[in-house]
Structure 1
């Protein structure tokens, strides 16, 4: 008699751990896979020339016949930004709430994928079912409308994924408070595993309500009766945009919007009814010169100091319609993402140079739960196993410690790495190998064609520059017929370093003479010899190691 092995539930993070952004998690049982979220990350400083970073989906491509769909928790870039790139490779449906899918559809239009987009709209409080899974969507609070947590019923037990959340008793949408009663109900049934947002796991206490900013913005408007007000925030922060519009309406100001992503989000949110725009308040950015400063509010992208964002272009006098001037009040309503502090500081300095006043204090509240909010959700859910997600390692560790403080055993807490496989049964959980995972770089239209070697070369070029040595030799005799011509880019200025360039040419002559005397005709040997000799000489002379490219032409 053959014994069939009982399938185990697998949880496989493909992104979002030990990093900010790029969130993607695989839930697998037998012949079915669910993909939770599909986000991007923005490049770090050392990723030269890279536009975006998305998850490596090799594992999904290898198991595409199992995938039932992508399940989205909310509409922020770090959760939906990679959807167009994934759908180019995988023909699968996408499940999400109305606003979330509306924002995804905007992105797909840019990639000409909107016509083939298989979207299934879901609502908080409703559920969808597959052969091995049933997913219930639970309303949460975050800095964007239509955010949900996921309760996933599996053959081995209940899995809860919090999505990004905070506990806000007075949200912008009034009665749409996080559904704590549902979490308590699920907890009473017994939860096998809990995956929870760790972004603010290091922050003590409670988060402030989104509505607490209403008073702050009102005071700024009162104090700025003669000033033009420019406000920068995340384009996807729909609630914050609504607060700005409300303040502008109260103080009888017109609203202009700058930044492509901001315009796209605003258009989608208005169309779906998530933004309430009073009549005749919204004007085109080209019309701002028709109004006095005290009649204007400009809402813009660029709160993270992105070089091509609208606010950065204003600060650098590169914006076509808006020029920063003395007296402007600029409100930065966002906290810099780790790694963006320098670029934000640079923009702020440029704004001050132009005479603007920059306001950053008390203009932002986080959309992520702090320690006491996390404790509340843990206490309601009472999981058997816990997997902290969404954060750098220090955030995951802090969240792990928080779970221990609530009585969880450390052996039941799993700090995972991208690509690791966690296998679960109804009674146990263990790490069981790894799958291909990592970063895929998006550079212009290229996806994945720039890897670590190209990045290394870019770093080399940016640090030490380039030397190109061009030589023409006789194919038969190996005698040099022309050159050597030496071109320097980013290393030294040739006209001011003629002696150094003459020495470089002399070394190339010596190498070619040696090769000719030894009757060597192999290009590889000649090129390698030139590179090694020049590298040694230039390091002695300059303590720099430029990239050296010998080019040999035979005639």
Structure 2
């Protein structure tokens, strides 16, 4: 069996792993990565489908371990290339992806499974195992083939007191371990955190304190898929006799699905339309919205920027009920500062116990390794510090160092005769979604965008005599985001004139560059020399 991650290794997001056996392909998860500050203008980042694009007919199914965006968000883009690939997942996971696909006008072929089910897809015998995570209905998957068994945990933790009473099935892990797990793919996100992850129920006192002490409205920001946290907020609202309104398209959509399927329990009469809350006393209002990661277009960000129908007022309490995704820290603290400037009291993980992780810490991972006793280990889902920490835990529980494979996106791992080894590499670059464009922009495009943001731009309009190759009038300069005095621009114009004269002489000797290139180089050199700046230079040449 060949295993290759097309995303999710060395990063938090873009999870997608392809398993190949006997000419058939099985995909586990197909998620997105959220952009960081150095990805200006990018909506989301997809896995690279290049390695499987010519073999999509060989794909027997996509198994979705749970309904978070970093595991299902790229499915619409994959199905646009082959719409009838079966999607396998739990009830809630499929409901979330079906709603997302409806927006893309795709009707998927779905196969609903639950813990304990076994399905054969092509040459893959799949068994599904209940795992506890920050979203209900999460599943691990055991993949059996003639080449051996792989156990993929998906995202999981070992909360012994989950809100839905659905714990990670360690008995199934032990049973699979006794049968013989040849390769264990394990969630690495919290591998560098000692001990065990705090239980969800331990957040109740801190959340209750927020509700008890908030003098006016409470605005809660959370992931639109974090049903457990939303349930805690609704329960607290009921205890403190507050009305609740959902704000934001994805929040309304997901909570409606969760309520309809019974994963969210909303007491009768507590839920109202946020537009009707204007007539309700502030101390009886709770608004639940998206934007906990500082996303520019999410509801909370727009509220902070005073660009939303709901305005934050002095005395309001804003509760950020999610963790910081690496890379989003600046955006989140910018939102916190903006809200604080307005006069809101902002409660977040840094100053109150209002969030716990959905991922297993080091103690839980060690526990699992001791139960499963895998022959080989491949850490997944995490940045490099997480992957290395996970590998160290595996070794400390008795896994031979040689049997721990730390791969990276695109690296192929072959499982043969009970041994996992790196065998090669396939393309696995970042595919950027920019508006309606998929893959149209590159790292070079982003580099130029960053330069525009940091250095500004200068456009040079030069009227040039076609016969002499020299300027007929003084060049004009138009600047955007670049500060320069008119006297200095006259000097830059002189540098352009000199460069054209020198180039005209060189051309007579046989050398030739376009006039635009000559002007751009001369302007860039002058700007660098006198301003120590490198704006984006564009030359427009008009024939005199």
Q: Is the structural similarity TM-score above 0.5?
A: yes
Following the alignment from structure 1 to structure 2, what is the Cα–Cα distance between the partners of residues 309 and 63?
37
The equivalent position to 2:5 in structure 1, one of 3, 13, 16, is 13
Aligned to 2:308: 319
* 2:319 paired residue number: 331
SS of 2:60's equivalent? strand
The answer for the alignment partner of 1:473 in structure 2 is 464
Offset of residue 86 of structure 1: 1.3
Q: Distance in 1 between the 2:19 and 2:356 partners?
A: 32
Please tell me whether residue 250 in structure 1 is matched to residue 247 in structure 2. Answer: no
Shift of residue 47 of structure 1?
1.2
| 2-structure distance, mates of 1:145, 1:474 | 72
Alignment counterpart, residue 180 of structure 2, candidates 190, 203, 225: 190
Q: SS at 1:125's partner residue?
A: coil
Deviations 1:416-436 (A, max 9, x none): 111001111133221101011
Matched residues in 2 for 1:219 and 1:452: separation? 47
The answer to whether the aligner puts 1:128 opposite 2:116 as a matched pair is no
2:293 — aligned with what?
304
- 1:226-237 map, 5 Å: 226-237=215-226
Query: Does the residue aligned with 1:408 lie in a helix, a strand or coil?
Result: coil
- Is 1:421 aligned to residue 409 of structure 2? no
Q: Using the alignment, how far apart are the partners of 1:351 and 1:166 within structure 2? A: 33
Out of 203, 206, 211, the residue aligned to residue 213 of structure 1 is 203
Pick the aligned partner of 1:63 from 52, 55, 69.
55
Matched, 1:146 2:130: no
Cross-structure match for 2:262: 273
Cα distance, 1:110 vs structure 2: 2.0
Matched, 1:172 2:163: yes
Change over 3 Å in CA distance of 1:538–1:191 after alignment to 2: same
**TM-score normalised by the chain length of structure 2:** 0.95
2:60, 2:122 within 8 Å by CA — same for their partners in 1? no
The residue number in structure 2 matching 1:349 is 337
Q: How far apart are residue 453 of structure 1 and its match?
A: 1.1
Does the aligned pair in 2 maintain the 1:511–1:526 contact within 8 Å? Answer: no
State how far apart, in whole Å, the 2-side matches of 1:51 and 1:191 are.
38
Q: Distance in 2 between matches of 1:288 and 1:448?
A: 43
Select the residue among 487, 504, 511 that pairs with 2:492. Answer: 504
Q: By how many angstroms is 1:216 displaced?
A: 2.8
Alpha-carbon offset, residue 478 of structure 1: 4.2
Q: Which residue of 1 aligns with 2:454?
A: 463
CA gap 1:220/1:507 in 2 versus in 1, 3 angstroms: closer
| 1:62 Cα deviation from its structure 2 partner | 2.4
1:403-442 alignment, distance < 5 Å: 403-442=394-433
SS at match of 2:129: strand
Greater shift, 393-402 or 509-518, is seen at 509-518
For residue 91 of structure 2, the aligned residue among 98, 108, 117 is: 98
Q: Does 1:76 align with 2:68?
A: yes
How many angstroms apart in 2 are the aligned matches of 1:281 and 1:187? 47
- SS of residue matched to 1:508: helix
- The within-5 A match list for 1:273-292 is 273-292=262-281
CA distance in 1, matches of 2:401, 2:373: 15
Q: Secondary structure at the match of 1:437?
A: coil
| Alpha-carbon spacing, 1:426–1:514, altered in 2? closer, same or farther (3 Å) | closer
The answer for the alignment partner of 1:3 in structure 2 is: none
* Structure 1 residue 514: Cα displacement: 3.9
- For residues 544 and 479 of structure 1, do their structure 2 counterparts lie closer, same or farther at Cα, with a shift above 3 Å needed? closer
For residues 118 and 474 of structure 2, the distance between their equivalents in structure 1, rounded to whole angstroms, comes to 74
Which has the higher mean CA deviation after the structures are superposed, 39-48 or 503-512? 503-512
Q: Are the aligned partners of 2:162 and 2:200 in contact in 1 as well (CA < 8 Å)?
A: yes
Deviation by residue 1:402-445 (Cα, 9 ceiling, x = unmatched): 11110111000001111001111133221101011121011111
- CA deviations over 1:244-283 (Å, ceiling 9, x no partner): 1111122221101112221121122122221111112111
Is 1:75–1:104's contact at 8 Å kept on the other side of the alignment? yes
Displacement of 1:477 in angstroms is 5.6
Displacement of 1:37: 0.4
Unaligned runs of 5+ in 2: none
Matched, 1:391 2:379: no
Aligned residues: 539
Q: Distance in 1 between matches of 2:117 and 2:67?
A: 18
Gapped runs of 5+ residues in structure 1?
1-8
